[in-house]
Chains A and B, each alone.
Chain A
């Protein structure tokens, strides 16, 4: 934190700008426990979605001769489209969603919480 009060943080109320070095900022075990339980729940949910997507697709591919003998977009078979491209897109989307969610849970449930509270938010 700087001691220069005009440092362009206009969105802070003047009173909340404390010209002192940041205090210690720690988490209590209870808070961390709560966050951990939430994270565990959503990690498992996303894993289930992921497993359904991947294994479910596999199941469809394997169980249906339709997936091999057929053509989509010209020469591909549905099985090929899935294994060769669509699943990678699915993984990326899932990853971005899971990471965003995990980050926002941490932001909101630990530390000073979302802005503008807490003196240690500059």
Chain B
């Protein structure tokens, strides 16, 4: 949440006004101590009162098509026609084709494209195209660019070592210079673009850098495409889990029986059921406002409460600041559903399910906690649940893990605490 910037602006404004009104405008300026006290008090008031501003939903930044001319400044028609094949990812074939395309642009003798461990494809100026026979052998020169924090033209130590090795091998034969540019996805280095020049050539470092960026861009597009595909799969899975026939059957049953005794309530339940399914089928995109997810959870729990009546108590503890934050869609309700199905339902006395959501703007994270005081899990079960290998948590938890991995990498965390008969708690921490 870009919350800190306005707050900073407000604090600066406050101090400006304090300065203005106590030092410049009055005929005698106020002494230091009271001025500072006033400024501090006003700042405290603003910081305290500030977090209560709820803003509207942000639009998730989409990746729009980037025309090649934006990237390099030259109309590289051929390149723009050829590089899109990289959408299929970085494989030997695509690497070879890319190397082909790039060779004339680099002005060098040889272009190689590597992944983290080995050369995938290369192209040589003497006309030999396509994958070089013996590309595998080339791996003896093991171009290994690990996760170097290479930015722009600064290539890390590993890359330098790799270049040296390459230089060694060709020193004998053609005495050239080697330049390696990283191919990055975000801050991860996926591979490199290695170009070999004659010793006497002038190195077009700017252009090589730009080409490296260009290829990285296409790799990013490719990654997104694949990511979308994976996520679409995950969504389908989630939806399948949602349209749980048992849930539908039980709820309709409840509604039907209430229809005789309390038709008003039956009508309300029907409304909520319809809301429930509408929400789960109308999802667009990977993220939703927490407020929407919360709505989904409320709807679900109100239906379950109708079925379990006194056996299910619900408690919410939601910090209003969380409401506009973007969270992964269809993530929270499955956790709650697990709590009800596996924690409370088997317990004859019933219990309480509670959902707690907090945001920590300074640390930039959202903490969501689903807790129940049901039958809990013993440690074996717990381990299995964490690994996602049991029905206890079902497909839902594994699915959630996967999606969070794709969305956040390692910037999130899920913790499950549970003890038999004492209940279960799932803590989820997501970046803002």
Please report whether the interface of chain B is mostly helix, strand, loop or mixed according to DSSP: helix
Contact with A46, one of B52, B278, B279, B313 (Cβ below 8 angstroms): B52
Task: Please tell me if the beta carbons of B282 and A16 are within 8 angstroms of each other in the complex.
Answer: yes
A45 to B46, CA, bound (A): 11
Task: Please tell me if the beta carbons of B323 and A108 are within 8 angstroms of each other in the complex.
Answer: yes
A114 to B318, CA, bound (A): 16
> 1/0 per residue A41-62: CB within 8 Å of B?
1100110110011001000100
Task: Please tell me if the beta carbons of B267 and A24 are within 8 angstroms of each other in the complex.
Answer: yes
Contact with A60, one of B38, B291, B323 (Cβ below 8 angstroms): B38
Task: Please tell me if the beta carbons of B41 and A64 are within 8 angstroms of each other in the complex.
Answer: no
Which residues in chain B, 340-387, are within 8 Å of chain A measured between CB atoms?
Answer: none
A23 to B266, CA, bound (A): 11
- Measured between C-beta atoms, what is the minimum distance from B254 to chain A in Å? 15
Chain B residues within 8 Å of A118, by CB: 275, 278
Task: Please tell me if the beta carbons of B302 and A49 are within 8 angstroms of each other in the complex.
Answer: no
- Measured between C-beta atoms, what is the minimum distance from B142 to chain A in Å? 55
> 1/0 per residue B27-61: CB within 8 Å of A?
11011001001100100110011001110010000
Task: Please tell me if the beta carbons of A72 and B26 are within 8 angstroms of each other in the complex.
Answer: yes
Smallest CB gap from B357: residue in A: A34
Chain B residues within 8 Å of A112, by CB: 275, 295
A105 to B291, CA, bound (A): 9
Chain B residues within 8 Å of A48, by CB: 45, 48-49
A56 to B324, CA, bound (A): 33
Chain B residues within 8 Å of A41, by CB: 320
- Measured between C-beta atoms, what is the minimum distance from B282 to chain A in Å? 7
Task: Please tell me if the beta carbons of B25 and A72 are within 8 angstroms of each other in the complex.
Answer: yes
Task: Please tell me if the beta carbons of B295 and A113 are within 8 angstroms of each other in the complex.
Answer: yes
A104 to B57, CA, bound (A): 12
Smallest CB gap from B290: residue in A: A108
Task: Please tell me if the beta carbons of A72 and B291 are within 8 angstroms of each other in the complex.
Answer: no
- Measured between C-beta atoms, what is the minimum distance from A88 to chain B in Å? 16
Chain B residues within 8 Å of A97, by CB: 49, 52-53
A27 to B270, CA, bound (A): 14
- Measured between C-beta atoms, what is the minimum distance from B277 to chain A in Å? 11
Task: Please tell me if the beta carbons of B26 and A53 are within 8 angstroms of each other in the complex.
Answer: no
Task: Please tell me if the beta carbons of A52 and B45 are within 8 angstroms of each other in the complex.
Answer: yes
> 1/0 per residue A85-115: CB within 8 Å of B?
0000000000001000100110011001110
Task: Please tell me if the beta carbons of B267 and A23 are within 8 angstroms of each other in the complex.
Answer: yes
The yes or no answer to B289 lying at the interface (CB within 8 A) is yes
Task: Please tell me if the beta carbons of B28 and A66 are within 8 angstroms of each other in the complex.
Answer: yes
The yes or no answer to B405 lying at the interface (CB within 8 A) is no
Task: Please tell me if the beta carbons of B27 and A38 are within 8 angstroms of each other in the complex.
Answer: no
If the complex has contacts A38-B318, A113-B292, A114-B292, are A119 and B275 also in contact, measured as CB distance less than 8 A?
yes
Task: Please tell me if the beta carbons of A16 and B45 are within 8 angstroms of each other in the complex.
Answer: no
Task: Please tell me if the beta carbons of A34 and B25 are within 8 angstroms of each other in the complex.
Answer: no
Contact with A105, one of B28, B41, B323 (Cβ below 8 angstroms): B323
Smallest CB gap from B44: residue in A: A52
- Measured between C-beta atoms, what is the minimum distance from B266 to chain A in Å? 10
Contact with B320, one of A25, A38, A70, A116 (Cβ below 8 angstroms): A38
5 closest A-B pairs by beta carbon, nearest first, are A34-B316, A113-B295, A23-B271, A108-B291, A49-B49
Binding site for B on A (CB under 8 A): 13, 16, 18, 23-26, 28, 30-31, 33-34, 37-38, 41-42, 45-46, 48-49, 52-53, 56, 60, 63-64, 66, 69-73, 78, 97, 101, 104-105, 108-109, 112-114, 116-120
Give 10 CB contacts A-B under 8 Å: A23-B270, A30-B313, A31-B302, A38-B319, A66-B30, A101-B54, A105-B54, A112-B275, A114-B292, A119-B278
